[in-house]
């Protein structure tokens, strides 16, 4: 019960800290001081107090999309176990629901972008969907490999202790799956080798361009949903790269938060040392992610 409460609290409160940590890391690499760690919380508070401006071409989809996206990623976060603790909701086959909740969020974001009738936003929506076609198989192959290792089909059982099998057959596929999932994490959260969250050139943006018309509380919801998506995918990848547990909840929860912040620093370092890929080279990276996760699976069934 207590663990479920902590799960909910972390899921609702921790995510906006992650972009703060990433931005701070990038600022340190660039020799700047950078925005404060809590900047995302201030931004959200500011946006929530603002007025809403709606374009006259938009319909109800435009208003509904940020809400649906936020709810979808929150539900995905409830299905996913955090650290060594069980998820609040778990049933056989919930990995499919998990993947398609993320898909539903994306569908509504792109639908809202098309709803504005702006040429730029349509372009962003097309790019987002194109790249998602490649990121989703990678995610599925990764989940398939993890299901094969554990023999379970619900996220809580299959993500706990991925090292359950004989170590020499499991380790190599897990390395491949971890690399593939990290690329998916970068692509899904529009981090640098795929998309630059700071850019404001419509011609090169992917995710940012889709939310150009959102303002005030709706933009706040979009940003909050994006932070939660980052949190959820980071929690997924942490199961693969850091499956440590002590069995004592008061050690494991702080350790989980520490691992999460460490992964955010890792993302910040990746963004600092890499240049952004050309738009036409992004599919290569994503296909590499599919191949990594697919190979992980092939190695297991070999």
Partner 1 sequence: MASIVNSLLVVVLGLNLFALGSSRLNAVIRIVALQGALLGFLPLLIHQPIGLAAVVAAVAAIVLKGIVIPIMLTSALQRAQIKREVEPLIGLLPSMILGALVTGFAMMFAAYLPVAREHSDLLLVPASLATVLVGFILLTTRFKAISQVIGYLVLENGIFIFGMLLVDAMPLTVEMGVLLDLFVGIFVVCIIVNHINQAFASMDTRRLVELKE
Residues near partner 1, by CB under 8 A: 167-176, 179, 281, 283-285, 287-288, 291-292, 295, 298-299, 302
Is the CB of residue 257 less than 8 Å from the CB of residue 173?
Answer: no
| Ordered DSSP codes for 128-177 | HHHHHHHHHHHHHHHHHHHHHHH---SHHHHHS-GGGS-HHHHHHHHHHH
Is the CB of residue 204 less than 8 Å from the CB of residue 279?
Answer: yes
The minimum distance between CB 269 and partner 1, in angstroms, equals 17
Total residue length of the chain: 302
E strands of 212-302, at which residues? none
- Taking the C-alpha atoms of residue 139 and residue 293, their distance in angstroms, rounded to an integer, is 8
99 vs 175 by CB, closer to partner 1:
175
91 vs 284 by CB, closer to partner 1:
284
The CA-based angle 17-28-219, given to 5 degrees, is 35
Which element (helix H / strand E) includes 43? helix 39-49
161 vs 202 by CB, closer to partner 1:
161
3-class DSSP state of 7: helix
Maximum pairwise Cα distance, the chain: 61
8 vs 287 by CB, closer to partner 1:
287
104 vs 185 by CB, closer to partner 1:
185
170 vs 218 by CB, closer to partner 1:
170
């Amino acid at each position: 019960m207590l663990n479920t409460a902590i799960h909910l609290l972390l899921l609702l409160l921790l995510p906006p800290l992650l972009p703060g940590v990433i931005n701070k890391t990038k600022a340190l690499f660039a020799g700047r001081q950078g925005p404060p760690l809590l900047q995302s919380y201030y931004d959200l508070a500011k946006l929530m107090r603002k007025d809403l401006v709606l374009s006259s071409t938009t319909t109800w989809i435009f208003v509904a999309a940020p809400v649906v996206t936020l709810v979808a990623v929150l539900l995905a976060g409830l299905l996913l176990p955090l650290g060594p603790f069980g998820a609040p909701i778990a049933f056989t086959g919930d990995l499919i629901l998990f993947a398609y909740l993320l898909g539903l969020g994306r569908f509504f974001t792109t639908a809202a972008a098309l709803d504005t009738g702006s040429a730029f936003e349509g372009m962003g929506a097309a790019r987002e969907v194109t790249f998602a076609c490649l990121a989703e198989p990678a995610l599925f192959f990764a989940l398939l490999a993890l299901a094969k290792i554990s023999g379970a089909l619900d996220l809580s059982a299959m993500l706990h202790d991925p090292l359950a099998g004989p170590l020499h057959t499991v380790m190599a596929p897990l390395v491949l799956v971890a690399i593939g999932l990290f690329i998916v994490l970068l692509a899904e959260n529009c981090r640098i080798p795929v998309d630059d969250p700071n850019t404001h050139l419509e011609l090169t943006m992917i995710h940012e361009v889709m939310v150009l018309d959102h303002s005030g509380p709706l933009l706040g919801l979009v940003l909050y949903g994006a932070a939660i998506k980052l949190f959820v995918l980071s929690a997924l990848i942490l199961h693969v790269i850091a499956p440590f547990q002590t069995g004592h909840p008061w050690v494991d929860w702080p350790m989980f938060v520490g691992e999460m912040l460490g992964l955010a620093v890792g993302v910040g370092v990746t963004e600092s040392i890499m240049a952004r890929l050309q738009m036409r080279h992004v599919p290569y990276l994503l296909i590499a992610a599919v191949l990594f996760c697919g190979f992980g699976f092939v190695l297991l069934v070999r």
